[in-house]
Structure 1
């Protein structure tokens, strides 16, 4: 059969499918990632601003924490979503440096965009970036300083202070660094499970009213009549933790019991009461003075315990119960019939006391304490929530530093040293087209000190030129001096960061950039297309309004 010399058109994809491919698609994806970078780069560093983010329900969040911003941004562009996912992985792995990953990945893409436009193969660019990334990581591991032999607490406090320098609480960093280091050192040093650090938020009061509890504290649970008659303070009490409901059970739906006489009915009722009384009697005989249960403790049990000077709390949250078990040495019981002395926990002091407008139960002086609680105070809920996010970053930094006690100087010093090294290596040892890729990556690393200067209102061009000169002279720890608006030896100034943060940030940023460069075709089904989605072709640089539906700084509501 002849078609007049023309090849017939074969339709493979469903009608309405949007298919974009080629060099223009890669550039479109790069521009989308630059729009995400533009949103968060203003939050970098000690003088970075905060973002006010409003979700579709009108809930407001004020933050400069990169992981929180990435989570709250409703990114619809598929390539830009890849960038946000990899940034979140940095938060999960290290706990800090999320903003740096996004800023660095965006800058790497910006630097290699001209190569894409010039027709250089994506695979050549990716190969060059991976080589540069590996060299950068090796250089960081070569220059990092091991602090294992120094005063551990002093080192950890300096690292926590650097992590807090860009946060809302940096004015109170001395107060909170001690709290963070105490919290991490109170954990089991083998697994360092940060989930055993409880954080409780109570509005009202000043930041300095926040408490560190070497034990467990949780908000008073729902209580029945008779609760106020119970004692609220004990010395060396025995603690029993239950997963038992101490309440009279109502009859099952549609249950049927046939009785011949009233006395038989009375026997059934008496049996129900006898069951719960046997449970309560067993708990009383165990010698426990504090009874906690994940399930409800009803009014009958509450009054029974009050008459015998025993404190009880039902409906205790699972995470709080787990931390009580870790701290007191108790074990959770699912029956009341066989409670032995080894099943009970203890603490030096139990007390219920008022914190702001809430009443809290405190277990302090626990013998097996491998957990602690931070009770945060502040004027507004958004403010306390940001304090919690800041402390989480500092806790994760301290945790990683205990495991890997290698540090580098912050304030752009590490990035400038690696950049100078890569420039020199590319000039001397790389002769083909990858030389330009490695030099582009080296230039992209300078975005960190440049953005730190821009956010602080410094002359970025002048300071970067001075930093380049210092690093060529061999001053490897020269970085931005935020106090005197200049440059300084940031290792001597105790602007320290774990080397793991830098290594992970570079690896994650390059991974994100390579992933985006390797995608040169996007196929979008009509049904799954977002009604507000951005056009796939020719996305102009900085078009954040069309790439993201989340409202960040300067983003109009759609």
Structure 2
């Protein structure tokens, strides 16, 4: 009896000690688990949109406004998020959008998978620092493999470019064709210019006919309805300032000298405006407002004036027309000096149907505009987002080459990482293993969204890749058969894949490194030091 009681006591103590250890472990990992759940919630919001069979997400505001889209960055950007770890994931997705313009869903999916796999290892007792070390090694090796397997695109008339646009454009062939045509008009050198964004050439309008044309569209109106609706073969003047006389201090204006100076400034300003008219300038854009005096003179002279033009549009106008934007002090230059600042445009007119200003026949750099139209504002918005994704992917493909899509490349590289794991010593190998498993997540989700069993289909694709040593085999979302993505034209830009994985690794490591969440003071007081 005593032995039984002693045994029960020991068992009770053993269970109590284990329970205490388990409780301590839970406390230690509570922040990580909370962050992982938040990241998972964000991932769940976009994972259903991936692939050709991905569905849409409906976003509803508190006012009842509705947006229906399967654009990852739009969903993430408009989601109501409070958890700090979730916000980190969304910020990484935005960074992916800013850097490349596409691939936000893939980046989010990979980041979520990395965190999920890492948490599973941490809960079994693997130190977080070792998992992080392994993830960094695995990501670095995977990025090297992506670059090594990139296929270059040397010409804008390469037929594969249309396939890139079609895949990024969610099978919208008409939009893909418009984007590729615009890319061909811009040329290889312009597309490879780091400061140029083809996606910024996209303009959308309800009721417009979708087209690509040489020229610009400004989402502005002429300053006055009394000004001409159209001017042709005109000099162009760009004023990155207000078109008004120089001001004078109110106190100085009360003095005789100040008042005379004021009258002098007004007269000089009138002469400056008259100089522009006499030079044959019939199209003027200003960065700020226009004074009533200038408006009256320019209206009488039949000049087309657009005020408060953004800096971005001012740069585009300068590139397209060849004009050099000047500040207000430049108005005092001589006619010969002013003429050197002018640009030229063959046609400028107010498009009443779209309520925009259209320019064609500029004498500056070639410029293409992709006009996307539809019957309703909701559809126009979604088509514009699709076009921007396609344009970003086309430019990324020209800059960095292409790789097979459909999750094929990630599946192939996952096996490369599995082999690499054998060379990694210590517990860091568990982090490498997390990378290998996360790389299978894109193809898993694509197959799942297509309505197939991912366990069965991924093994089929994996076996096919091993048998043929081909990195482009994946699953056809229509038939469920293993097919060659390169031959089917399912192509992704290398830079999209590269930056998506890099961004996913960065956010996963950042989330895993958080041990404690502390609420900051909200009183606005700066830390004065001490206790």
Residue of structure 2 in register with 1:468 after alignment: 462
Residue of structure 2 in register with 1:373 after alignment: 369
* 1:493 corresponds to 2:488: yes
* 1:90 corresponds to 2:96: yes
Q: Distance in 2 between matches of 1:141 and 1:250?
A: 58
Q: Distance in 1 between matches of 2:156 and 2:369?
A: 25
* Per-residue deviation, 1:112: 2.8
Q: Distance in 1 between matches of 2:499 and 2:180?
A: 26
Decide whether aligned partners of structure 1 residues 151 and 366 sit closer, same or farther in structure 2, where only a CA change above 3 A counts: closer
Q: Is the Cα contact below 8 Å between 1:126 and 1:517 reproduced in 2?
A: yes
User: 1:472-551 alignment to 2 at 5 Å?
Assistant: 472-473=466-467, 474-525=469-520
Q: Distance in 2 between matches of 1:60 and 1:316?
A: 30
Residue of structure 2 in register with 1:162 after alignment: 167
* Per-residue deviation, 1:435: 4.3
Q: Is the Cα contact below 8 Å between 1:95 and 1:392 reproduced in 2?
A: yes
Q: Is the Cα contact below 8 Å between 1:160 and 1:180 reproduced in 2?
A: no
Q: Distance in 1 between matches of 2:66 and 2:185?
A: 29
Residue of structure 2 in register with 1:315 after alignment: 308
* 1:240 corresponds to 2:234: no
Residue of structure 2 in register with 1:278 after alignment: 271
Equivalent residue for 1:197, pick from 187, 200, 209: 200
Task: Specify the SS of the correspondent of 1:330.
Answer: coil
Equivalent residue for 1:133, pick from 129, 139, 158: 139
Q: Is the Cα contact below 8 Å between 1:407 and 1:498 reproduced in 2?
A: yes
Residue of structure 1 in register with 2:76 after alignment: 70
User: 1:426-445 alignment to 2 at 5 Å?
Assistant: 426=421, 429=423, 432-445=426-439
* Per-residue deviation, 1:61: 2.8
Q: Deviations over 1:425-453 (max 9, x none)?
A: 44x54575444443343222211111011
The higher relative CO (CA closer than 8 Å, separation ≥ 6) is in 1
Residue of structure 2 in register with 1:459 after alignment: 453
Equivalent residue for 1:395, pick from 374, 391, 395: 391
User: 1:178-193 alignment to 2 at 5 Å?
Assistant: 178-182=180-184, 185=187, 187=190, 189-193=192-196
Q: Answer 1 or 2: which has greater helix percent.
A: 2
The size of the alignment, in residue pairs, is 489
Task: Specify the SS of the correspondent of 1:47.
Answer: coil
* Per-residue deviation, 1:126: 1.3
Q: Distance in 2 between matches of 1:217 and 1:87?
A: 29
Q: Deviations over 1:119-150 (max 9, x none)?
A: 111112112222222222222222222333x6
Q: Deviations over 1:191-247 (max 9, x none)?
A: 442289344332224xxx1232322221452533631xx361313x22122246456
* 1:417 corresponds to 2:412: yes
User: 1:281-296 alignment to 2 at 5 Å?
Assistant: 281-296=274-289
Q: Distance in 2 between matches of 1:196 and 1:65?
A: 15
Q: CA RMSD in A?
A: 3.2
Q: Is the Cα contact below 8 Å between 2:229 and 2:350 reproduced in 1?
A: no
Decide whether aligned partners of structure 1 residues 86 and 257 sit closer, same or farther in structure 2, where only a CA change above 3 A counts: closer
* Per-residue deviation, 1:357: 4.7
* 1:116 corresponds to 2:114: no
Decide whether aligned partners of structure 1 residues 115 and 246 sit closer, same or farther in structure 2, where only a CA change above 3 A counts: closer
What's the TM-score once normalised by structure 2's chain length? 0.82
Q: Deviations over 1:149-180 (max 9, x none)?
A: x66543433322221127xxx25344333345
Q: Distance in 2 between matches of 1:425 and 1:295?
A: 59
Q: Distance in 2 between matches of 1:95 and 1:269?
A: 51
Gaps of at least 5 residues in structure 2 are 1-25, 524-531
Q: Distance in 2 between matches of 1:185 and 1:21?
A: 58
Equivalent residue for 2:402, pick from 393, 402, 407: 407
Decide whether aligned partners of structure 1 residues 160 and 345 sit closer, same or farther in structure 2, where only a CA change above 3 A counts: same
Structure 1 stretch displaced more, 154-163 or 180-189: 180-189
Residue of structure 1 in register with 2:212 after alignment: 212
Q: Deviations over 1:102-125 (max 9, x none)?
A: 111212222232321111111121
Task: Specify the SS of the correspondent of 2:489.
Answer: coil
What's the TM-score once normalised by structure 1's chain length? 0.78
* Per-residue deviation, 1:488: 0.8
Decide whether aligned partners of structure 1 residues 54 and 393 sit closer, same or farther in structure 2, where only a CA change above 3 A counts: same
Q: Is the Cα contact below 8 Å between 1:409 and 1:496 reproduced in 2?
A: yes
Q: Is the Cα contact below 8 Å between 1:27 and 1:116 reproduced in 2?
A: no
Q: Deviations over 1:385-405 (max 9, x none)?
A: 22222222222222233322x
Q: Is the Cα contact below 8 Å between 1:221 and 1:316 reproduced in 2?
A: no
Q: Is the Cα contact below 8 Å between 1:292 and 1:314 reproduced in 2?
A: yes
Q: Distance in 1 between matches of 2:246 and 2:136?
A: 65
Task: Specify the SS of the correspondent of 1:233.
Answer: strand
Q: Distance in 2 between matches of 1:152 and 1:398?
A: 12
Residue of structure 1 in register with 2:12 after alignment: none
Q: Is the Cα contact below 8 Å between 2:236 and 2:284 reproduced in 1?
A: yes
Equivalent residue for 2:331, pick from 327, 336, 346: 336
Q: Is the Cα contact below 8 Å between 2:235 and 2:282 reproduced in 1?
A: yes
